[in-house]
Chain A
Amino acid sequence: MLLQQKDQSAFAYLYDNYSPALNSVILKMIDDTQLSEDILQETFVKIWNNFGQYDASKGRLFTWMINITRNLTIDTLRSKGFKKQQKISQDENFVSGNIDKNFNVTKFDTIVLRKQVQFLKPDQKIIIDLAYFNGYTQEEISKEMRIPLGTVKTRMRTAIIELRKLLQF
């Protein structure tokens, strides 16, 4: 991949296509625009510096990037003495999701996706959001939602299957 050769234009492409998505992950956890921008910048610096460590056989590029984003955000929150928090925001801005096939990722129609995601049941949405956006472990979700660990695992699986159906993959 071009990024492994440290290609600036490839990196710019990556930034243009993924920064809104990664930004949304940070903003789910942090209600501070300045701090979230700092974390987003730090995230992309880390992506640039560590791209050689990305291994496509282990997972999608996006999964690797979101993991960096989430960990940096959680580390920042911890360093500032925050506890994990979930910030539910209603005013999500529209973004276009043009993703080029050069990166072996999918081009999404975000308008269609947004409409479909609304149909996800609230209890399924919460479990996905806590794990994916807030980095909660399955044990933490079990405590937070007061449901058995086994139920968390089952519900998480069901929720992803339901989401996939809604997104029509």
Chain B
Amino acid sequence: MTKEYIISSGLLELHAFGQTTEVEAAQVLQAYINWPDVKEDVQNMEKTMEAYTVSNGKSVNEDLKNKLFSALQASDNKFYNT
């Protein structure tokens, strides 16, 4: 695997999107070790996509939080550990 291959493979973008398979992710993580700037590149892509998604956020029905927390309290006694 060369640096040029990994950059043009599309795998880095897939990884930043959280869509790599285990085998593909292992290739990307190996590339991180070989070329730290590749890791920085993917981290920047992840951050970009996070900002993009947050910028498109849709307000959530306020009742949903209470519903969710009640469900978690009922199913997991550790949920009370604050």
Binding site for B on A (CB under 8 A): 5-9, 11-12, 15-16, 19-21, 23-25, 27, 33, 37, 40-41, 44-45, 48-49, 57-60, 62-64, 66-67, 70, 92-95, 97, 99, 105-106, 108, 110, 113-114, 117, 128, 131-133, 135, 137-138, 152-154, 156-157, 160, 163-164, 167, 169
- B interface SS class: helix
B49 and A58 within 8 A (CB): no
Shortest Cβ distance from residue A141 to the other chain B in the assembled complex, whole angstroms: 10
Give the residue of B29, B71, B80 whose beta carbon is less than 8 angstroms from that of A58: B29
Residue B34 lies at the interface, judged by CB distance under 8 Å to chain A: no
Chain A residue nearest to B32 (CB atoms) is A57
Instruction: Give the size of the chain B interface in residues (CB under 8 angstroms).
Output: 47
Q: Assess A131 versus B57: contact at CB under 8 Å? Given A7-B81, A59-B46, A164-B45.
A: no
List 7 extra interface pairs beyond A15-B68, A20-B58, CB under 8 A: A6-B78, A19-B64, A40-B60, A63-B46, A70-B18, A99-B54, A113-B55
Residue B69 lies at the interface, judged by CB distance under 8 Å to chain A: yes
Q: Assess A21 versus B56: contact at CB under 8 Å? Given A60-B50, A106-B47, A132-B17.
A: yes
